Structure 1
Amino acid sequence: MPDTVTTLDRPTKTVTRTTDAIVIGAGIAGMYQLYRLRQLGLSVQVFEAGSGVGGTWFWNRYPGARFDSESYTYGYAFDDALLAEWNWGEHFAAQPETLRYLNHVADRFDLRRDIQFDSRVAGADWDEAERRWTVTLDSGERFDCRFLITALGPLSASTMPRLPGIDDFQGQSFHTSKWPHEPVDFAGKRVAVIGTGATGVQVIQTIAPLVGSLTVFQRTPNWATPLLNAEITEAEQAKIKAGYPAMFELLRQTPGCYIHQADPRGTFEVSAEEREAFWEELYAKPGFAIWMANFRDMLTDPKANALFSEFVARKIRQRVKDPEVAEMLIPKCHGFGTRRVPQETHYYEAYNLPHVSLVDIKATPIERITASGIRTSDAEREFDMIIYATGFDAVTGSFDRVRFTGTDGLTLKEKWQDGTQTYLGLMSHGFPNMLTLVGPHNASTRCNIPRCIEQNVEWVAELMRYAQEKGITRIETTPAAEADWSRHVEELAGGLLYTLVDSWMTGINRNVEGRTTRRVLQYQGGAPAYREHCDAVAKAGYTGMTLS
């Protein structure tokens, strides 16, 4: 979505096209929502800012971009023939393979005929008299629909650091989410990477062997653990496909829709020897097992968390040869798993290379970007390339960058300014007929995301079917239901250690003005409980909503 909010006059009713539904975004959620609405016989128009499908996987083409959940758990599950015909090449697929898969899905179901590419939505205005939305593109084109469905993505509003001189730099520079489509030559280049979150980790470990020199500018280190990726053999491929029904049933039952389930034991219910052996076993397993299948109290008991954090710190010290650099890479302000855990492949070993250096920008802050490089408080360094791995204005940022105007002239950004308010994470009072896939307060933002996307999309499609059958033209949550759900989301987060930490998961982003207050953005009751809530609402005739 746009990097700045576009100011629009309220539109006239002159529109290019009228449809039953408009979907914003042609990523995993938008594509599947289009498919489901078509099945209902609705006319649908999808607007996508990019020139192709894929969302996250269209934009994020940086070196090393790949899944950190198992490929076969990530793909769509709604079509048995699609599952049977697609062969994932790696247990954790890289971006090019994932984008090929999503293009295959678009081709297979002929989705592109209802998607308008290179079309960025600037604003949407509710017309109470007509009970319809007018959607305006940044080109000025206007479209009219009964139902507006956002599929914006929780990590799509990229942010640059607030540093003077960014435009002065004369070399190559890229934000990781705006990576060029053509190859980038690293040979012999003096490269800087700003940021060591999940994206930064993937970039750094991938380009470190390719560059002339690499300088990493780190504000906050993150706990990173081995991905342990591998190609999928023919025998494994056959086993995966035969096991799909059981696997997808397991994914429905686990809190984050991963194949990993928390160990039922507490950290201090076993001996020190058993505990250490269990952790060694987790460290040697691929993917998120170490985060999702750890002792049940690891993310709620500070003492348990501190003990495991020290275990991972020892691993970092073993892998990084320079003790001073190792200590710089060990987080001191948060425990393991309280921020999203980057998965790595020889990331720590990259700092053992003689041409790789690490700069702590808390100790020596970046003062400005210069024409030739980066100036910190202690030195000025020259570079041929700067890579900004500075992340996203997560979850709500993509909503802020579209001017959604509801029933009383209030924008959604204004409504959420002092705290996000939703019902089921799928709608907000004052914005009738607007459904927010993977929105704030939704289980999808703390989930193996396609699994929760499918639940969101199918629930919305069923609501659309119900509206068709009952002749309903206006759907809105009640203020009381919204307040109850928002309070429920807050209460669920109580006692979780992650709420005490500054991160995108708690709404903190120092690259965005005003993003300095912690907020609960995610439903923490787990995907099965969330699904039960949503199903109960539908079964009872859509309680908490006014339908007319």
Structure 2
Amino acid sequence: MTLSSDGQTAAAADIDVIVIGAGFGGLTATYRMRERGLDVLSFERGLDVGGTWYWNRYPGARTDSEGSFYRLNLFDDIVEPFSFKEKFPAQPEVLAYLGRVADELDLRKHYRFGVSVDAVVYDESTGRWQVRTDDGQDYTAKYVVSAVGIQSEPLVPDLPGQENFGGRIYHTAKWPADPVDLDGCRIAVIGTGSSGIQIIPQAADVASKLYVLQRTPTYSVPMVNKELTEEEQRELIESLPEIRKAVRDHPFSMPYSFSGRSALDVTDEERDAIYGEGWAKGGFRFMIESFDDIGTTKEANDTVSEWLRAKIHSIVEDPITAAKLTPNYPYTVKRPPSGVEFFESFNKDHVELIALRESPLVSFSEKGLVLEDRELEVDVVILATGFDFVTGSLYKLNVQGRDGLPLSERWADGLSNYLSVTLHGFPNFFVLGGPLYPGGNWPTVAEEVSTYIANVIAEGEKRSAQVIETKAEVEEAWVAHVNELASQSLMAQYGKDANAYGLGANIEGKLQSVFFYLGGAQVLFDQFDHEAASGYPGFEMS
């Protein structure tokens, strides 16, 4: 591989590994491949590193995992650990962290920024991948690692009349880098998912009028964020070895302990007290530390769902608005978000909730938004409409495997891969954050998966293999295991009612399937270790 004088990779180079993406996964994969002695060329459509944290700059954007474990172990091992200043770091701090990772590990030299990948095609005659970018350049590589992210393809509603709107339109996942002035504006926010829950309180603080357009109500618990003192930051850094072990061995890659109790084995008074304690702690602690069966047993889940519904009604003063904000599906069917003063925002006189199932959105107009029964005159429309989860960004790569089979056709009738990272018929192609991945704390998952991919490739190189490919029967057996777990989940049973993106139900016409591996992140990581110890029996290395 050759580099030009400005550090960008020469277009004609024939590369060992091409990595796509510069978030947690892409940076880690780029480092691990270089660590294995391979020439690496990486692409990123943004102008710098950061992945989702580069694009999601909207007011209120922050992690819903604590900064004590929303981090990369490999970085902490190499340089002085990064100290987050808040319990739940905000977007600028996470972006700064990833920038420091790139700087300290000297990763930017491998990247071509501002470049998107348009096609990834396997050439059977050469056994190499042909990669075309949007600037018209062609590359060849022995291996391709997709790290485009699980939530990186924004879902933009197809509403007519956008070109006629005289105001401003923003999507939370495409927020401008320059400051956006919303003070005194009439604002409409479409969506009450994770990003909506974060931006709505921010908009309510500055808007002269705020309309919140909601398709599906969402459960939300408090984030209970705070600034960390220097002493607290120092104590967290000293605790990183213990936190790391707890995260590695946890189903959600979080250092929280399960309670060891059932919601059905205590009195109503005891149960209410435990939920109250969980609410006060906030974040994922509410779900994980309250009771062990609220995410798996409908009868136990009913207790937490009813408790949360009552909580919404106790916070929101107007009973009609509270009823519209109250979900009728089980808690945990959707990934549970957390926020700051979300429900409280609807107690402000200038904030109005509009249920789109009662008053559907028809189009844009010159003055704002047209509903079936009225027109909303606004200056700014904010699309907090989420993402085409997992497959959206992967399909945009236009990946074609053996016999020219498109990845989109491979998954048209059902999701399938081995250990979430490889597919039969797509030799030397690896996916970091693909379907059936464990839905745990993303930096941990990204690091474990990218390390595993690097180890598989290193083993193939050691054997002088030209092709590394998952065995069809091994993939089938793994998918049968994954689907058996998914079929028993509350998400499979109730996800459609909730328009859950984890089921593909948030997009009309998308494959309806549980997109997660529900066996636990630590089980997948243990399988990685078992594969390595057994000589990678799930692969043909020829």
Question: TM-score, with normalisation over the residues of structure 1?
Answer: 0.94
Corresponding letter in the other structure for 2:360:
P
Show the counterpart of 2:440: 447
Show the counterpart of 1:507: 504
Q: Residues 118 and 15 (structure 1 numbering): CA distance in 2 closer, same or farther, change over 3 Å?
A: closer
Show the counterpart of 1:6: none
Partner SS state of residue 268, structure 1: coil
State the Cα deviation string for residues 107-145 of structure 1 (Å, max 9, x = none). Answer: 111111010001100001111121110100011101111
Measure, in 2, the Cα distance between the counterparts of 1:208 and 1:230. Answer: 21
Matches within 5 A, 1:118-197: 118-197=114-193
Show the counterpart of 2:71: 75
CA RMSD of aligned residues (A): 1.4
Corresponding letter in the other structure for 2:134:
D
State the Cα deviation string for residues 218-269 of structure 1 (Å, max 9, x = none). Answer: 0101000000000111221121111111111111111101122332111111
Corresponding letter in the other structure for 2:440:
C
Matches within 5 A, 1:252-331: 252-331=248-327
Show the counterpart of 1:369: 364
Is the Cα–Cα contact under 8 Å of residues 72 and 240 in structure 1 kept in the other structure?
yes
Q: CA deviation at 1:484?
A: 1.2
Measure, in 2, the Cα distance between the counterparts of 1:83 and 1:233. Answer: 22
Corresponding letter in the other structure for 2:301:
N
Q: CA deviation at 1:81?
A: 5.2
Partner SS state of residue 284, structure 1: helix
Of residues 427, 432, 439, the one that matches 2:427 is 432
Show the counterpart of 1:541: 535
Show the counterpart of 1:531: 525
Q: CA deviation at 1:372?
A: 1.3
Show the counterpart of 1:486: 479
State the Cα deviation string for residues 269-305 of structure 1 (Å, max 9, x = none). Answer: 1122211111111010032101122311101221211
The unaligned stretches of length 5 or more in structure 1 are 1-13
Corresponding letter in the other structure for 2:460:
A
Q: CA deviation at 1:420?
A: 1.3
Corresponding letter in the other structure for 1:475:
I
Is the Cα–Cα contact under 8 Å of residues 195 and 388 in structure 1 kept in the other structure?
yes
Q: CA deviation at 1:15?
A: 6.5
Of residues 85, 88, 113, the one that matches 1:117 is 113
Q: CA deviation at 1:85?
A: 4.0
Partner SS state of residue 120, structure 2: strand
Q: CA deviation at 1:168?
A: 2.4
Show the counterpart of 2:460: 467
Corresponding letter in the other structure for 1:506:
L
Corresponding letter in the other structure for 1:472:
A
Show the counterpart of 2:5: none
Measure, in 1, the Cα distance between the counterparts of 2:526 and 2:342. Answer: 40
Show the counterpart of 1:4: none
Measure, in 2, the Cα distance between the counterparts of 1:31 and 1:305. Answer: 38
Is the Cα–Cα contact under 8 Å of residues 221 and 282 in structure 2 kept in the other structure?
no
Show the counterpart of 1:348: 343
Show the counterpart of 2:3: none
Residue 415 (1) aligns with residue 410 (2): yes
Partner SS state of residue 281, structure 2: coil
Residue 241 (1) aligns with residue 234 (2): no
Measure, in 2, the Cα distance between the counterparts of 1:239 and 1:82. Answer: 19
Show the counterpart of 1:397: 392
Show the counterpart of 2:490: 497
Measure, in 2, the Cα distance between the counterparts of 1:337 and 1:39. Answer: 39
Measure, in 2, the Cα distance between the counterparts of 1:30 and 1:434. Answer: 14
Corresponding letter in the other structure for 1:396:
T
Question: TM-score, with normalisation over the residues of structure 2?
Answer: 0.95
Show the counterpart of 1:228: 224
Measure, in 2, the Cα distance between the counterparts of 1:341 and 1:292. Answer: 11
State the Cα deviation string for residues 29-82 of structure 1 (Å, max 9, x = none). Answer: 111111111112211000000001010100100110000000120111114456
Q: Residues 434 and 518 (structure 1 numbering): CA distance in 2 closer, same or farther, change over 3 Å?
A: same
Measure, in 1, the Cα distance between the counterparts of 2:44 and 2:140. Answer: 16
Is the Cα–Cα contact under 8 Å of residues 121 and 400 in structure 2 kept in the other structure?
yes
Is the Cα–Cα contact under 8 Å of residues 187 and 203 in structure 2 kept in the other structure?
no
Measure, in 2, the Cα distance between the counterparts of 1:385 and 1:212. Answer: 11
Measure, in 1, the Cα distance between the counterparts of 2:226 and 2:131. Answer: 45
Deviation above 6 Å: which 4+ runs of structure 1? none
Measure, in 2, the Cα distance between the counterparts of 1:298 and 1:134. Answer: 47
Of residues 459, 474, 477, the one that matches 2:470 is 477
Measure, in 1, the Cα distance between the counterparts of 2:210 and 2:11. Answer: 51
Is the Cα–Cα contact under 8 Å of residues 537 and 543 in structure 1 kept in the other structure?
yes
Is the Cα–Cα contact under 8 Å of residues 266 and 296 in structure 1 kept in the other structure?
yes
Show the counterpart of 1:7: none
Show the counterpart of 2:98: 102
Is the Cα–Cα contact under 8 Å of residues 22 and 44 in structure 1 kept in the other structure?
yes
Is the Cα–Cα contact under 8 Å of residues 489 and 520 in structure 1 kept in the other structure?
no
Corresponding letter in the other structure for 2:219:
W
State the Cα deviation string for residues 179-217 of structure 1 (Å, max 9, x = none). Answer: 111111111111000000000010101121111110000
Q: Residues 377 and 475 (structure 1 numbering): CA distance in 2 closer, same or farther, change over 3 Å?
A: same
Partner SS state of residue 347, structure 2: coil
Measure, in 2, the Cα distance between the counterparts of 1:321 and 1:206. Answer: 20
Q: Tell me the matched-pair count.
A: 529
Partner SS state of residue 149, structure 1: strand
Is the Cα–Cα contact under 8 Å of residues 17 and 142 in structure 1 kept in the other structure?
no
Show the counterpart of 1:3: none
Measure, in 1, the Cα distance between the counterparts of 2:232 and 2:117. Answer: 43
Residue 388 (1) aligns with residue 383 (2): yes
Of residues 203, 206, 229, the one that matches 1:207 is 203
Q: CA deviation at 1:83?
A: 6.5
Residue 519 (1) aligns with residue 513 (2): yes
Show the counterpart of 1:31: 27
Is the Cα–Cα contact under 8 Å of residues 55 and 173 in structure 2 kept in the other structure?
yes
Corresponding letter in the other structure for 1:459:
Y
State the Cα deviation string for residues 438-489 of structure 1 (Å, max 9, x = none). Answer: 111122xx11011111110111111122122111110111221121111111
Structure 1 stretch displaced more, 285-294 or 62-71: 285-294
Q: Residues 350 and 326 (structure 1 numbering): CA distance in 2 closer, same or farther, change over 3 Å?
A: same
Is the Cα–Cα contact under 8 Å of residues 191 and 214 in structure 2 kept in the other structure?
yes
